Amino acid sequence: MNKNLRKYFLSSILTLLLIQSFSAFASDLNSINEVLFAEKDLIASITLDKNSNYKKQMDQIKSLGFDVAGIDFKNKIVDLAINEFEISILEKNKFHYIVKWEERLTRGLSEEYKNPSEIEDILNQWVTDYPSMVTLIEIGKSFEGRTIFGVKITNPKSQATYKPNVLFNGMHHAREVMSPEAVLDIGEYLLTNQGDLQVSTWLNGMNVYLVPMVNVDGNNKVWNGSTMWRKNTNLTYGVDLNRNYPYQWGACNGSSGYASSQTYRGPSVASEVETQAMMKFVTKIRPVFDISFHSYSELIIYPLGCSGQKAKNGAMASVASLMSQEIMYQAGTPWELLYGVDGDDIDWMYTTLNVYPYVIELNNRKQGFQPDYKAWRDKTVKRIRPAWKILLNKTLSEKVYKGQLSYENIDSVSINVIKNNEVIETYKPHTDGRYNILLNSGTYTLKAVRGREILETKVIEIK
Ligand SMILES: [Zn+2]
User: pLDDT tens digits for 114-129?
Assistant: 999 999 999 999 999 9
Question: Among 24-33, 135-144, 300-309, 410-419, which is the least confidently predicted range?
Answer: 24-33
List the domain boundaries for the chain. Answer: 3-106, 116-396, 400-462
Q: From the CA of 159, how far away is ligand 1's center (Å)?
A: 39
Band (32; pLDDT cuts 50, 70, 90):
low
State in Å: Cα 242 to ligand 1 middle: 8
Quote the ligand 1 centre to 172 CA distance (angstroms). Answer: 6
Alpha helices for 27-86 (secondary structure H)? 29-37, 54-63
Q: Supply the pLDDT for residue 96.
A: 85
Q: What is the mean pLDDT of residues 265-281?
A: 98
| pLDDT at residue 161 greater than cutoff 50 | yes
Same fold, 116-396 and 400-462: no
- % the chain with pLDDT above 70: 90
Q: Could you give the CA distance from residue 389 to residue 391 in angstroms, rounded to a whole number?
A: 5
Tell me what pLDDT residue 64 has. 86
Q: How many angstroms separate the alpha carbon of residue 314 from the centre of ligand 1?
A: 25
Q: What is the mean pLDDT of residues 80-90?
A: 86
CA distance 350 to 310: 12
Name the DSSP letter for residue 28: G
What's the 71 CA to ligand 1 centre distance in angstroms? 12
Ligand 1 centroid, distance to 402 Cα (angstroms): 32
Please tell me the distance between residue 168's alpha carbon and the centre of ligand 1 in angstroms: 14
Q: How far is the CA of 448 from the centre of ligand 1 (A)?
A: 37
193 CA from centroid of ligand 1 (Å):
30
Q: What is the pLDDT of residue 127?
A: 98
pLDDT at res. 101: 66
How far is the centre of ligand 1, averaged over its atoms, from the C-alpha of 232 (Å)? 12
| pLDDT per position as a tens digit, 291-320 | 999 999 999 999 999 999 999 999 999 999
Q: How confident is the model at residue 94 (pLDDT cuts 50, 70, 90)?
A: confident
Number of neighbours of residue 407 by Cβ within 10 angstroms = 14
Tell me the CA–centroid distance for residue 451 and ligand 1, in Å: 38
Q: Is the pLDDT of residue 92 over 60?
A: yes
| Distance from the alpha carbon of residue 176 to the mean position of ligand 1, in angstroms | 6
Of residues 88 and 187, the one with the higher pLDDT is 187
Q: For residues 385 and 458, give the distance between their C-alpha atoms in angstroms, rounded to a whole number.
A: 36
- How far does the centroid of ligand 1 lie from the alpha carbon of residue 376, in Å? 18
What pLDDT does residue 104 have? 57
Cα–Cα dist 142/278, whole Å: 11
Distance 93 CA to ligand 1 centre (A): 26
For 116-396, CATH number? 3.40.630.10
Q: What topology does CATH give the domain 400-462?
A: Immunoglobulin-like (2.60.40)
> Could you tell me the distance, in angstroms and rounded to a whole number, from the CA of residue 87 to the centre of ligand 1?
23
pTM of the model: 0.91
Q: Phi-psi region for residue 255, left (φ > 0), alpha (ψ -120 to 50) or beta?
A: beta
pLDDT of amino acid 93: 85
Helix (H) or strand (E) holding 182: helix 178-192
Separation CA 72–CA 274 (nearest Å): 30
